[in-house]
Structure 1
């Protein structure tokens, strides 16, 4: 099996199209990751950037590069650049209820009569490849919005997010244009809607392709600043999932985690997976024949030091002197650990901690310590902070919130240099004097406004900020170099009316295009009735694994009550909550009106060694942390996840030396809503 890839990234657009900043960076990262994960000769890329990414070159790349793929091979088209729209012609009107087509803006589009590349044309190009039995994956990190230009974010944004919006209105699609590559000519047939709608691209008998899109057709895709320069938020999030789960993860699994990351970074951008109901999205991302070279991680001697064969492209975090990434020799007791001293693109330099490796041996390694950076908060001020007094009060509170009156171990105020490199985790606005509003990076309020006119009130706000930072660390906890990606799946099953115990005969609900399972209240004669579900954990491997299921609520609570910890047998499906029906309801202070909604993130922690769920308790915002959570855990377990839970939620807890088994995580978002809006 060979993967043929057409990687297109355009930053340097010509006027009047506004340039972008992170598209080449996206494409570079894709090439590095795939090149390091696939065997020699198994990855054949064609990279088109800036002026080389003309309309003709992209079409030629499909036909003469991706066109080399044969049955059993895979083809990947990854586009980072501007997206736009155009009026739909009559012959395609039945496929487009909005009356608009989506387009990709190539480097020479809108110059010298060169048009955009329309979705119907893209469908035709894809159909030519899928018709030969090739597994085709399309990744589009561009905007499909009705209006907008790159630069300041839309009115609901903060100005920190750049938009890969449509630079101008695209011209109409005309089937008679000689340069067109319309599927089937005028009239189009079924294949006309494939590029965006996810239907078959090559006619009735052609296999469907997989589309991973950055956002809905009426939404914006944003760029975000990072330490390595600007990046598309969607591309960065998708690559994080590929690094974490591996290329054998399914497209559906990848999009579940990607959606969580994107929704944390931008408002109104929801990634879409198509065709969501087709089995093709439950195949491995790059096709069933892919065999990656990602596991196990190995340490070996090189020159005058030691290195592991995993680096930045595999997701190894760099950390710092006080909070490094740690690896240990697999199954060593006591743990033989090494500290990551430098992360390179394809490998990392490591330093043994308290032991001397044999220079002639190589060692299989597992990740045992994840750097947990301090959360950052941007003090943006506002109309009620004319003199900056409220911001200064809160900054002082964070500066003394730690043990012994030192700085908070969980949160710090983002300085100008930090804010230039990365988005803050939360923002603080002062809508009126003595009041603060805690928001997401895009300005979305996270909690109700809080008083902050005195030192005591500022200290309480600081506690809330620490709480949110701890919750986010657990939500984002993952192992980028695990040999167990996708080992245990979280499944949600709708309970039938009056059904109290899971009969285990009903199939699980399929997540939607954005990776979330959605469940609605039901109106009855007695009012709104909450949805009820069963939750299962399915071990997809041939080994016994220890699991804990966490429920992370949108009120910043974490509890493991649904499945507090046990072994799941190979190939077995375990029931959460002892198989009892679980009622999903909105918080009491959230009115049951059409459009009201809430989200739970069901996160399974999976390990080869047992660990305690106690360190993962986090009460509701404003509640004290249970004391038992910092005492080392139930049953005296000392797994890697015990250490990571204590580190994430209790930075001042005593560190421990864990057993050295492999571990991984998986998350499923479950949204509960009141229908009718």
Structure 2
């Protein structure tokens, strides 16, 4: 495995007379550096250009002479966090290739670097057999190779800057040889916001979170789709872009060529003389930082040679302090042997609560009612572990609900001001409780959708595939991170697409694995009926949704299939060593008219943990539960967009 050459450029301190200074770009670079050090270790050669050092000439030279030192088998990464800009394309050569009629550029400390020029520089590096990738967190980044309560990463410098930058901007003569992960589409702005008191670009925050949770073999396409899903929680009008996105190309190679990271192995529990019992998994692996997560001892592969471990199978330890590389834990109702090392698996995940910011300056009575309802949204009228009130938006976590009470309604909004659901009335005595129930429901849904097992040894062992019903060629997410399926046109009107949903288990794993397929809908529902609430799939075998009958992707009954109509589903595959109780994974769709007493989902999660327990023994007599419960587990998520063409 070759060297990873990285050039990281971040600019916060822009001249005030040119554009608005930013506050999150250096944080982006710092977090990217931390991730690269973890992934590449001693094989990393890193160059950083910060603030005034990130000039046009310095970035150009950095790409040519720093990244240009990479050779065949090496990896080159260029990361830019800062302002982007655009201007009308005036030269004929530019007009021929700019679909928007405008040129895009990175705003460096002293001028502009036109996107096409940057692309050519990166392709020069890639031409030497170097695995080359660019990450651009700036406006209009989709052409290159950050609304309300958010700071836009857009600048509008004078025309002279563009004239100077365009003089040496060559037009590409062939398709790009490098892969691009861009914060936006070609015509969109990108934004930065605050997460738990620290500012980041929305895209950088989402991408780095996806990478921390990803396996060493995750591809650009998989990482991009995961980052896009994370970003949607904050902003609906910034769409990350992957290019080139053609199936089988560089987008389907491992991120940074895989970087030689070790293959994940089962977590281990052992006792340190100074700190006590610990598990070799921490926040750096994607584990939530708060306490409460639990691990369960699994049955060893060779029980006869490990009688002590076999006897302990099914015992639990609970996280007390989550560090970067390890988690200090406390045994629950048992005493491990100090000299023993036990294999463990995540058995209960303390997923972070949603942050709730409440504003109602003109309706104090509504504000008081909402505050009481949110504070008593848990079982028995107590606090809910799923919700956390924040007074300032900058203290919020990744999932933020902005509740604005105005005009007799409660508006449940994202960071960017777009709605999660239609406004809810604030007229009757139960209305505030309904808003709180909505927040609990939405939190639960997002926790399921974004569920990932940090560095699981089962990641990638079983694959979820979606193919057209009349084809065996799997569909792949496009440059927007979604699998697009379109209605056809029949004699009686629009015809829903039909697909085959398959769960493929390669023969190389050597053992059967329990597979659960969740369908999470954009009506905030989750169900497991596509694959019989879960089944074992043996090595070398394929499981089929609906027993190999076609899966019809259609708009729900309350959404007529008019031209331009869209519905989204997130299909999440959960793979386990043992059978899994799927009760915690079921949610009805959000219905504001449903009686409050019918919402029992919150009671299943009274402690704020998502548990990976085995089902009752009597439910699966043919496959008795192994000691250790569900054991190791992993997930894969595929986002599907079903749409009715406009013409």
- TM-score norm. by structure 1 comes to 0.82
1:45 aligns with 2:57: no
640 and 471 in structure 1: CA distance in 2 versus 1, 3 angstrom threshold: closer
1:95-114 pair list within 5 angstroms: 95-107=97-109, 109=110
Contact 1:142/1:214 (CA < 8 Å) preserved in 2? Answer: yes
Secondary structure class of the residue paired with 1:95: coil
Q: 1:555 aligns to what?
A: 523
643 and 545 in structure 1: CA distance in 2 versus 1, 3 angstrom threshold: closer
1:443-482 pair list within 5 angstroms: 443-482=417-456
For residues 32 and 263 of structure 2, the distance between their equivalents in structure 1, rounded to whole angstroms, comes to 16
Secondary structure class of the residue paired with 1:669: strand
TM-superposed deviation, 1:266: 0.3
1:390 aligns with 2:366: yes
584 and 66 in structure 1: CA distance in 2 versus 1, 3 angstrom threshold: same
TM-superposed deviation, 1:32: 1.3
For residues 646 and 635 of structure 2, the distance between their equivalents in structure 1, rounded to whole angstroms, comes to 35
288 and 372 in structure 1: CA distance in 2 versus 1, 3 angstrom threshold: closer
Q: 1:486 aligns to what?
A: 460
TM-superposed deviation, 1:58: 1.4
Q: 1:172 aligns to what?
A: 162
Q: 2:127 aligns to what?
A: 131
Question: 294-303 vs 584-593, which deviates more?
Answer: 294-303
For residues 631 and 347 of structure 1, the distance between their equivalents in structure 2, rounded to whole angstroms, comes to 29
For residues 598 and 611 of structure 2, the distance between their equivalents in structure 1, rounded to whole angstroms, comes to 21
Contact 1:640/1:659 (CA < 8 Å) preserved in 2? Answer: no
TM-superposed deviation, 1:315: 1.5
For residues 46 and 540 of structure 2, the distance between their equivalents in structure 1, rounded to whole angstroms, comes to 37
For residues 516 and 337 of structure 1, the distance between their equivalents in structure 2, rounded to whole angstroms, comes to 38
130 and 374 in structure 1: CA distance in 2 versus 1, 3 angstrom threshold: closer
For residues 294 and 420 of structure 1, the distance between their equivalents in structure 2, rounded to whole angstroms, comes to 33
1:253 aligns with 2:222: yes
Query: Which of 492, 513, 523 is residue 479 of structure 2 equivalent to?
Result: 513
386 and 659 in structure 1: CA distance in 2 versus 1, 3 angstrom threshold: same
For residues 175 and 410 of structure 1, the distance between their equivalents in structure 2, rounded to whole angstroms, comes to 50
Q: 1:403 aligns to what?
A: 379
* CA-to-aligned-CA distance 1:232-270 (integer Å, 9 cap, x gap): 111121112211122310111111111111112102111
For residues 498 and 587 of structure 2, the distance between their equivalents in structure 1, rounded to whole angstroms, comes to 24
Contact 1:397/1:455 (CA < 8 Å) preserved in 2? Answer: no
For residues 296 and 54 of structure 2, the distance between their equivalents in structure 1, rounded to whole angstroms, comes to 45
Q: 1:190 aligns to what?
A: 173
For residues 80 and 346 of structure 2, the distance between their equivalents in structure 1, rounded to whole angstroms, comes to 33
* CA-to-aligned-CA distance 1:584-624 (integer Å, 9 cap, x gap): 22222223332221111111111122212233111122357
For residues 507 and 26 of structure 2, the distance between their equivalents in structure 1, rounded to whole angstroms, comes to 38
1:671 aligns with 2:644: no
- TM-score norm. by structure 2 comes to 0.86
429 and 239 in structure 1: CA distance in 2 versus 1, 3 angstrom threshold: same
Question: 210-219 vs 487-496, which deviates more?
Answer: 487-496
Q: 1:500 aligns to what?
A: none
585 and 379 in structure 1: CA distance in 2 versus 1, 3 angstrom threshold: same
Query: Which of 483, 496, 500 is residue 534 of structure 1 equivalent to?
Result: 500
Structure 2 residue ranges without an equivalent (≥5): 300-308, 616-626
Q: Count residues in correspondence.
A: 605
1:430 aligns with 2:413: no
Structure 1 residue ranges without an equivalent (≥5): 110-114, 154-158, 192-198, 201-207, 497-504, 633-638, 645-656
For residues 360 and 448 of structure 1, the distance between their equivalents in structure 2, rounded to whole angstroms, comes to 57
1:262 aligns with 2:252: no
Contact 2:522/2:567 (CA < 8 Å) preserved in 1? Answer: yes
164 and 176 in structure 1: CA distance in 2 versus 1, 3 angstrom threshold: closer
Secondary structure class of the residue paired with 2:546: helix
For residues 626 and 642 of structure 1, the distance between their equivalents in structure 2, rounded to whole angstroms, comes to 22
1:66 aligns with 2:40: no
Q: 2:82 aligns to what?
A: 81
77 and 303 in structure 1: CA distance in 2 versus 1, 3 angstrom threshold: farther
